[in-house]
Amino acid sequence: MPRAVRERQMLDAAVRTFARHGYRAASMDRIAELAGVSKPLVYLYLHSKDELFTACIRREAGALVAAVRAGVEPGLPADRQLWDGLTAFFTHTAENPDGWSVLHSQARTHGEPFAAEVAAMRAEITAFVNHLIGDAARAARCDPHLADREVAGLGEALVGAAESLAAWANDTPGVTARDAAATLMNFAWPGLENLMKGERWSASAGFRPPAGSARTPGPPAP
């Protein structure tokens, strides 16, 4: 059996095991058994548990980024691209729950070497979103003044909301995936649109955050 095939089997088994049990609780024995090969062969190809984990992260990160890229058509309007990109993202993570778990839950909770690997992927996606928002802003002839960091924060918020909704939809009878998606768009879209136009909540109609409260200092002045 050719090496490439064997390696893919091993990575499949590893991703699944790491996702289900976590990095530490996943044993090389189990992975080798699940892959249908002997343990020394895993070491021959992947060298160590750390390298195996890193290989998993890299493969899953690459697949996710590729899926998002493939879902987006560059020529289309920015809002359409965003919708397509988000949909591709959620579709891919839904179809590869183990891979997503490795990236999102496992890699980030096990120290620098692995977190850095995910950070690279994250930067790629953030840049993509940033680009889109910038395009949209330019098309609307606004200067959104969105720092990379702010974009990253929005990405975090969006992903967090989406994950939370996915779990909620799964646990609440009668709530469909489409309900969840619609809720998310209703929830998030107006805010994103505002930000693309350079508008922020603290400047919005009527509300003024309390300036002097010790317990709850107001947001940065607009």
According to CB under 8 A, which residues from 28 to 67 bind a second copy?
Answer: none
Residue 199 CB, shortest distance to a second copy, in Å, is: 8
CA separation for the pair 110, 194 (Å, rounded) = 37
CA–CA gap between residue 212 and residue 218 (Å, rounded): 7
Residue 47: DSSP 8-state: -
Contact (CB, 8 A) for 168 and 175? yes
Residues 1, 205, 211, 221: which binds DNA (CB under 7 A)?
A: 1
Find the part of the chain contacting a second copy (CB under 8 A) among 6-14, 30-38, 54-62, 104-112.
104-112
Nearer to DNA, 25 or 123 (CB): 25
Site membership for DNA, residue 109 (CB under 7 A): no
How far apart are alpha carbons 100 and 150 in whole angstroms?
23
User: C-alpha distances in angstroms, 4 versus 1, 43, 46, 48, 138?
Assistant: 9, 15, 12, 18, 45
Closer by beta carbon to a second copy, 62 or else 190 = 190
For residues 9 and 84, which CB has a smaller minimum distance to a second copy in the complex? 84
Considering the rule CB under 7 A, would residue 44 count as an interface residue with DNA? yes
- Which residues of the shown chain bind DNA in the complex (CB under 7 A)? 1-3, 6, 24-29, 37-41, 43-44, 47-50
